[in-house]
Structure 1
Amino acid sequence: MSTTVRKTPAPIYKSEAGAEAITCRYREVLSDWPIPAEQLRIPTREGETFVLASGPQDAPPLVLLHGSGANSSTWRGDIVSWSRDFRTYAVDLVGEPGGSAPSRPKLDSDAVALWLDDVLAGLGISSAALLGMSLGGWTALDYAVRRPDRITRLALLCPGGVGKQRYGWILKEILPRLAGRHDVRRSAQTVTGLDAAHLGPVLDDIALTFTHFNPRTERLPRFTDTQLAALPMPVLVIVGDRDVMLDSAETARRINTFVPNATVQILPGVGHAILGQTDTVLNFLRTPTTVH
């Protein structure tokens, strides 16, 4: 009789002390959150999911999904504006360094969509606008492909799964690492494209996270032309032309070519981290949907 050996998932943190350091920093951010927010814990098939809810209870729902190696602190510069018109739900993705369970549902399956089904059900949401960044953008797009009737609008910042993933930046980081000169903060600047002179605190937080956190390593599944062409909702995509992680030119081309109701913006001189787009996103979300 054969037995099945279940593989134990790798821990998402490098040490318990590192996990505590990241958790403490997140607590500090939440204690200084710019608007009143409910801290919700939603049970799902992947474990407990942490959600920050803000804005009028009767306003249209807007679900926010951050990127890899991040949490809902991603939205602290946007949340005040967005929560005036929407009931915002900033969701901490499972398996990332936030307040949710360490589970990592397989990306090449419907597991992520099923998890988000549970989150929305726990929040009492039948349909909503979705906004995602990077891995969160992939998650939002995956859900929109699988549940198109549940998404009213889709806003994507540097989304994965459309343009090719790039790995050249990794090669530039290998030699310093081998020589014992690895600088996590410098790597964070390379990947994000952020200006250290003006966004030093943001880079410090990213460096703290990746000193102690083990990110996902699998390749993001790519969406097919047919899947993109079937999206019925208005879609906004914003990418930076200096993104070292994703081919932003290909992302823009494929969205423009295949998505029927898409608006694409390419930001010159901007890397993978898309910041300062609060008003652009808000204007898109506020625009009445035209019925054909």
Structure 2
Amino acid sequence: FVIESGDSGAPALVLLHGSMANSFTWFSDVPALSEHYHVFAVDLIGEAGFSAETRPSYQSGAYQKWLDEVLHGLNITTCTMVGLSLGGWMALRYATVYPQRIEKLVLLCPGGLFRERRDFLWKSLLMKLTKGGVHKTMRGVMGDTQAQADGMEQVLAYVALIGRQEKPRMAKLALFTDKELSRLTMPVYVLFGDSDIILRAQESIARIMKLAPNVHSEILPNTGHAVVGQAQRILQFLNG
């Protein structure tokens, strides 16, 4: 399932959301991005959107094959790809396998660069059993300042609804090898929050900057894992 917006003659930009979410993730970013790009917001398979419910192994290679089929179906030969969390991992996976098809890569708190903080997942599962636990967990994911931003109450409500209905995946994301990351020859923008309680921002950035030749990175203050609403930063990088 894909939500399409913007001028069909503009360069293609593909958005990949994170786990336990869908393309609504990008509701505050799409208006600005669509002024410059032909935007395709893709619902990932196995997540809380309208795409297939199948959840292949992260180790199998099925995700990049599926995404390649989606792009072929949309007649996208090359594109800029923006991925958030799990979507960042998927964008990385695709870019390491098909680097010639990615013009620029934007990674918002991407998985797969460094080991995850596994204690968060278990705490979130326990919180799900308490009254208002999902909402509290999502506030922790976003960080206090980010959770108070304009429109974030809508996001919190939507994510909390998904959290009450969907079963999170317990499998670890596959870590990228040094050889794989060295294939990222395109311009890459990596953005993390300094209060990320799921991923290790400093270590993740240090690793990709060591291995890929053209990486720009930024760590946002008072920001958690859900780095959304960053259209202006993304456009500044893409159009700079």
User: TM-score category by the smaller chain?
Assistant: over 0.9
Gaps of 5+ in 1: 1-49, 288-292
1:266 is aligned to 2:219: yes
Deviation at residue 174 of structure 1 after TM alignment: 6.5
Aligned to 2:94: 143
Confirm or deny that 1:204 pairs with 2:157.
yes
8 Å contact kept, 1:158–1:239: yes
Q: CA deviation at 1:275?
A: 2.4
1:186 maps to a residue whose letter is: K
Secondary structure at the counterpart of residue 84 of structure 1: coil
Separation of aligned partners in 2, 1:93 and 1:238: 21
Aligned position for 1:231: 184
Whether contact under 8 Å (1:162, 1:222) holds in the other structure is yes
- Please say if residues 195 and 224 of structure 2, whose CA atoms lie closer than 8 Å, have aligned partners that are also in contact: yes
Deviations 1:249-276 (A, max 9, x none): 1111112211100000011221101123
C-alpha displacement at 1:128, in angstroms?
0.7
What amino acid is the match of 2:138? A
* Pairwise CA distance, 1:189: 1.4
CA distance in 2 between partners of 1:174 and 1:185 (Å): 12
Task: Tell me which of 80, 88, 93 is aligned to 2:44.
Answer: 93
Distance in structure 2 (CA, Å) of the matches to 1:173 and 1:216: 12
Q: Is the 8 A contact 2:26 2:229 kept in 1?
A: no
Q: Secondary structure at the match of 1:264?
A: strand
Aligned length: 237
- The residue type paired with residue 90 of structure 1 is A
For residue 143 of structure 2, the aligned residue among 184, 193, 200 is: 193
- Return the structure number with greater relative CO, CA threshold 8 A, min gap 6: 2
For normalisation by structure 2, the TM-score amounts to 0.93
TM-score normalized by structure 1?
0.77
Deviation at 1:224, TM superposition (A): 1.3
RMSD: 1.8
Corresponding residue number in structure 2 for 1:105: 56
Q: 1:193 offset after TM fit, Å? A: 2.2
Name which of structure 1's ranges 230-239 and 164-173 shifts more when overlaid on structure 2: 164-173
CA distance in 1, matches of 2:95, 2:111: 14
Within 2, Cα distance between the matches of 1:244 and 1:189?
11
Counterpart pick for 1:123 among 55, 62, 74: 74
1:60 to 2, 7, 11: 11
1:13 equivalent in structure 2: none
Change over 3 Å in CA distance of 1:208–1:279 after alignment to 2: same
In the alignment, the residues of structure 2 paired with residue 95 and residue 171 of structure 1 have an alpha-carbon distance, to the nearest angstrom, of 20
Query: In structure 2, what is the equivalent of residue 244 of structure 1?
Result: 197
- Return the index of the structure with the highest Cα Rg: 1
Contact 1:54 1:87 in 2 (8 A): yes
- When structure 1 is superposed on structure 2, of 98-107 and 259-268 the one drifting more is 98-107
Where does the alignment leave 5 or more consecutive residues of structure 2 unmatched?
none
Contact 2:128 2:134 in 1 (8 A): no
Alignment-derived partner of residue 105 in structure 2: 154
Q: Quote the offset at 1:278 in angstroms.
A: 1.0
What is the CA distance between 1:176 and its match in structure 2? Answer: 5.8
CA offsets, 1:117-162, max 9 Å, x none? 1101110111111000000000000000000111110000000000
The runs of at least 4 aligned residues of structure 1 exceeding 6 Å deviation read none
**The residue matched to 1:280 in structure 2 has which SS?**
helix
- Identify if the C-alpha distance between structure 1 residues 60 and 263 changes in structure 2 by more than 3 Å, giving closer, same or farther: same
